[in-house]
């Protein structure tokens, strides 16, 4: 059973439906016992970093997340669920994250017109949030990326990106005005800035691989 952590924010049903589509059982829950009993755990997320951290604390989910990761069971962070794993975010001030991975969540650098600098090979300026399909370059073949090749397109919706202190955790990179980390892998943790549940065939492959990861 895959536990999808419910802390009151995020497109939980679409994540659950993606797992069901590829044949994995998944439950949306904030029950610490259900999270502890699950074989795999997912932390999705949409919204503001500080609000999400406040909700995790309000629902007493920080400790279950830490215990899950320490136990060695596969853990998937999606979008804000990736960012929350890091030390801190500069979204609307400086806010502390879970600190499981060292590094900072940073905003895309904006020009005077509210867009990111000109992309290499792109004639125009790029809007923030970064929204839509973009390619990934595979740096390390994390188990959930089995069958995913460099150049594969996945779906993004975000204005901030992670900058890990330890570059060895980087699994994929993506270009959007600058090269940014689009997924990380360390031990039993895989976390991605893109939304696999919205990424059609490539995303479902990642979801299926994660459910089979042990």
State yes or no: is 57 an active-site residue: no
Beta bridge pairs of residue 166: none
Catalytic residue among 24, 79, 91, 152: 79
- Neighbour-count burial of 132, counting CB atoms closer than 10 A to its CB (0-12 exposed, 13-18 middle, 19+ buried): exposed
Alpha carbons 147 and 141: distance in angstroms, whole number: 9
SS3 157: strand
Q: Is 39 exposed, middle or buried (0-12, 13-18, 19+ CB in 10 A)?
A: middle
Q: Determine whether 88 is an active site residue.
A: no
Could you confirm whether 197 is annotated as catalytic?
yes
Question: Among 24, 95, 130, 195, which one carries the catalytic annotation?
Answer: 195
Those residues whose C-beta lies under 8 Å from the C-beta of residue 196, and which sit 6 or more positions away, are 18, 78, 154, 202, 203, 204, 206, 207
Displacement of CA 2 from its chain's centroid (Å): 16
Torsions phi, psi of 92, nearest 5?
Answer: 55, 50
- Whether 53 and 9 have beta carbons less than 8 Å apart is answered as no
Cis ω for the linkage preceding 129 (within 30 of 0): yes
Nearest to 24, CA basis, from 208, 169, 190, 213: 208
Catalytic residues: 79, 195, 197
């Amino acid at each position: 059973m895959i536990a999808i952590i419910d802390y009151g924010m995020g497109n939980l049903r679409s994540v659950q439906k993606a797992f069901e589509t590829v044949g994995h059982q998944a439950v949306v829950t904030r029950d610490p016992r259900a999270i502890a009993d699950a074989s795999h755990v997912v932390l999705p997320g949409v919204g503001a970093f500080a609000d999400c951290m406040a909700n995790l604390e309000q629902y007493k989910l920080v400790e279950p997340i830490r215990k899950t990761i320490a136990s060695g069971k596969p853990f998937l962070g999606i979008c804000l669920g990736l960012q929350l794993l890091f030390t801190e975010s500069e979204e609307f001030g400086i806010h502390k994250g879970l600190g499981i991975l060292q590094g900072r969540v940073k905003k895309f650098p904006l020009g005077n017109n509210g867009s990111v600098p000109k992309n290499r090979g792109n004639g125009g300026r790029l809007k923030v949030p970064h929204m839509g399909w973009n390619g990934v370059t595979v740096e390390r073949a994390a188990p959930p990326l089995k069958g995913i090749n460099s150049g594969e397109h996945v779906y993004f919706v975000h204005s901030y990106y992670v900058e890990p202190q330890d570059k060895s955790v980087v699994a994929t990179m993506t270009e959007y005005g600058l090269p940014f980390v689009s997924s990380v892998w360390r031990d039993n943790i895989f976390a991605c800035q893109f939304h696999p549940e919205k990424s059609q065939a490539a995303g479902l492959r990642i979801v299926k691989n994660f459910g089979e990861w042990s």
